[in-house]
Amino acid sequence: MSVRHFVSVFDIIGPIMVGPSSSHTAGAVRLGLVARAILGEQPAEALIELHGSFAHTGRGHGTDRALVAGLLGMKPADDRIRHSLELAAAAGMRIRFAEADLGQDAHPNSARLTLGANQRRVTVEGASIGGGMIRVTRIEGYDVLFTGEHDALIVVAEDRPGTIHTVTGLLLAHQINIAFSRVERRQRGGEAIMIFETDDPIPALIPETITDFYWVRWARHVPKVTD
């Protein structure tokens, strides 16, 4: 655990979680939850690729069950996590697991989740960095960085003037304060991904409204995954 400016008593006495490992289990549930939220619905199919320690000791730590539990919408303290593979099968979710080398820069506890449902498909890559904390590092091939410790609004849209203004204007109209924001694009005038981490929950109306703009490909609210 890295030393932050302030360590809360609930970082020490917590999180409440099902075992056996805060990084291999609780963090994995949170990665699954974030990926589910980015897809925007429960996935019908999932390819789960495990890297490093996740691949090597994941089974004994229940990392496979934890990731799937997150895809089912469970939180780290959910007693049903240990049964998640069976529950996913019962829900008709098709899941494949594979080992993958996500590169030298990837954290040892990393996973790539490729999810599909109806017409939607999304690839999310992230890591469990200790104590149940996570960071999401790639979405649809864009390099990103967010932690799930705040509510987030993610927008993928044409890279054109006024997009950020439009989004922040909507957030302002709902009195939602932005804690952090980040914009990444692959090339000028192409597509860009925007991530706004906020201090307050984001009403469903906001991503819906944004998605209605013709130059926006998709927008999602990713609720925070910490307590």
Which residues are at the interface with other proteins (CB under 8 A)?
1, 3, 6-22, 25-26, 45, 50, 53, 55-62, 64-65, 68, 77, 79, 81-82, 85-86, 88-89, 92-99, 130-132
Residue in this structure with the two tokens 């939180």, named with its chain if needed: 75
Least distance (Å) between residue 166 CB and other proteins: 31
The 3-state secondary structure of 144-175 reads EEECCCCEEEEEEEECCCCHHHHHHHHHHHCC
Least distance (Å) between residue 115 CB and other proteins: 13
Residue closer to other proteins by CB (options 89, 205) is 89
Residue closer to other proteins by CB (options 127, 155) is 127
CB 154 within 8 A of CB 139: yes
Say if residue 175 is exposed, middle or buried (CB neighbours under 10 Å; 0-12, 13-18, 19+).
exposed
What the block records as the tokens of 46 is 């999932």
Least distance (Å) between residue 94 CB and other proteins: 4
CB 129 within 8 A of CB 26: no
Least distance (Å) between residue 198 CB and other proteins: 17
Residue closer to other proteins by CB (options 74, 193) is 74
User: Which residues does residue 218 pair with via DSSP β-bridges, in sequence order?
Assistant: 156
Residue closer to other proteins by CB (options 24, 220) is 24
